Amino acid sequence: MKKTLNVGLIGYNFMGRAHTHGLKNLYMMADDLQVTPRLHTICGRNEGEVERVAGKLGWEKWSTSWESVVDDPEIDIIDIASPGNTHCEIAVAAAQKGKHILCEKPLATTLGEAEQMLAAVESGGAMHLVNFNYRRVPAVMLAKRLIEEGRLGAIISFKGFYQQDWTLDDELPFIWRFDKAVAGAGSMADKGSHIIDLARYLIGEFEEVSAAMEIFVKERPIAGGGQKRVVTTDDAAVFTARFACGALGVFETNRMSSGRKNGLWFEVNGTEGSVRFELERLNELQVYSRRDPEDCQGFRQVLVTQASHPYIRYWWPPGHLIGWEHTFTHQFYELFRAIETGQLPSPNFRDGLVCQKVIEAINQAAVEKRWVTIDR
């Protein structure tokens, strides 16, 4: 009989639904797990809404108080899928109760918060994971494998982009994401944290950065009224980097890129080969190898659905695509395995903290118009 781990989920909107879906489908990976999740309590601020969602998604209980969820002795895991400015308080409280924690990205809105959170979980002694879920795309993990095995040689360059188009409309009303006080940052941190984390995952630490940010739509209408409010978070950012391994990097985050819906993509060039990845074709990895026969070298379109590819054996036969949502199931798998084995999973709060340091350096570089070294 497998041991049941009770989950308390804070947040019930888009991320709440995605986390729930990830949990509910963890049964597909059950053969390699001794523990099994129970959807114990879901928590949100709007009572009617959280009750409705609990029913639809299959949570046993619901609550409007995250404190009571964190305090509930039955609950083993706190899953934080609420807005960024709530992460620190919840995580610290959960850590103090010795709960395992899965926290959405970016870990915090300031470096101070991130440091506080890491200290809390290290003191609490339980497992912690930051939900940089794109590390859990099989194609991204294949890229990691190729790099680790030396199949790309020494890394020369990393290009990372995260482009969306949802703020293009001038008439899109002001929401919390346009308010720096609440959101912490705009596209640079919200989207940038994903590509910063992927760059770290794939080729290692950032050494120094330079950056520029821009707000293209300066003010936005307040919903339901004739007035406008000033936007204080960036619509787009560009930054360049040097990495500890010697590679150069170029990055862009942009929520006003016509035609890109969830356009995270990257390219890594090494002395022996290159890889390219696009999240909008997440089952594929483009691979170039200089070790191929000279007359047949070219970027290969590898369909990452073979049983030999990461995680795929839990799903379907070759050629049967998985979706974006599977990354959540894979994250829970990593957390549950960590709980079983007592080995800290990756990316954990330390990764979240380092990512935050890079974000702050980018911010500073943009403001001071100079290169800034990341303090590690």
Kindly identify the residues of this chain, within the stretch 235-264, that bind its own copies according to CB under 8 A.
Answer: 235-240, 242, 246, 248-252, 254, 256-263
In the region spanning residues 331 to 350, those forming contacts with its own copies, defined by CB under 8 A, are none
Between 79 and 284, whose beta carbon lies closer to its own copies?
284
For residue 65, what are its two tokens? 């108080």
Question: What order of strands is seen across the sheet that includes strand 77-80?
Answer: 61-63, 35-43, 3-10, 77-80, 100-103, 128-130
Closest CA to 136 of 336, 303, 319, 333: 333
In the region spanning residues 55 to 114, those forming contacts with its own copies, defined by CB under 8 A, are 56-58
122 binds its own copies (CB under 8 A): no
Q: Which stretch binds its own copies (CB under 8 A): 68-76, 108-116, 281-289, 330-338?
A: 281-289
For residue 141, what are its two tokens? 């993990």
Q: How far is the CB of 152 from its own copies (least distance, A)?
A: 7
In the region spanning residues 350 to 369, those forming contacts with its own copies, defined by CB under 8 A, are 369
Q: How far is the CB of 324 from its own copies (least distance, A)?
A: 4
CB-CB contact of 202 with 222 (8 Å): no
* Spatial distance between the Cα atoms of 188 and 254, rounded to a whole number of angstroms: 8
Strands 77-80 and 61-63: unpaired
In the region spanning residues 4 to 63, those forming contacts with its own copies, defined by CB under 8 A, are 14, 18, 21, 24-25, 27-28, 30-31, 56-58
Closest CA to 62 of 86, 46, 81: 46
Between 66 and 134, whose beta carbon lies closer to its own copies?
134
Q: How far is the CB of 299 from its own copies (least distance, A)?
A: 5
Strands 155-163 and 248-254: parallel
375 binds its own copies (CB under 8 A): no
Q: What is the dihedral of CA 111, 117, 51, 58, to 10 degrees?
A: 110
Closest CA to 21 of 76, 58, 47: 58
User: Which residues on neighbouring strands pair with residue 244, listed in sequence order?
Assistant: none
Q: How far is the CB of 225 from its own copies (least distance, A)?
A: 24
166 binds its own copies (CB under 8 A): yes
Q: Which stretch binds its own copies (CB under 8 A): 87-95, 149-157, 174-182, 341-349?
A: 149-157
Q: Which stretch binds its own copies (CB under 8 A): 62-70, 127-135, 148-156, 195-203?
A: 148-156
Q: How far is the CB of 59 from its own copies (least distance, A)?
A: 11
CB atoms within 10 A of CB 116: 17
187 binds its own copies (CB under 8 A): no
318 binds its own copies (CB under 8 A): yes
Q: What is the DSSP letter of 295?
A: G
Three-state SS at 164: coil
Q: Tell me which of 214, 221, 232, 244 binds its own copies, using CB under 8 A.
A: 214
145 binds its own copies (CB under 8 A): yes
* Spatial distance between the Cα atoms of 286 and 206, rounded to a whole number of angstroms: 24
210 binds its own copies (CB under 8 A): yes
Question: Which residue has tokens 């989920």?
Answer: 9
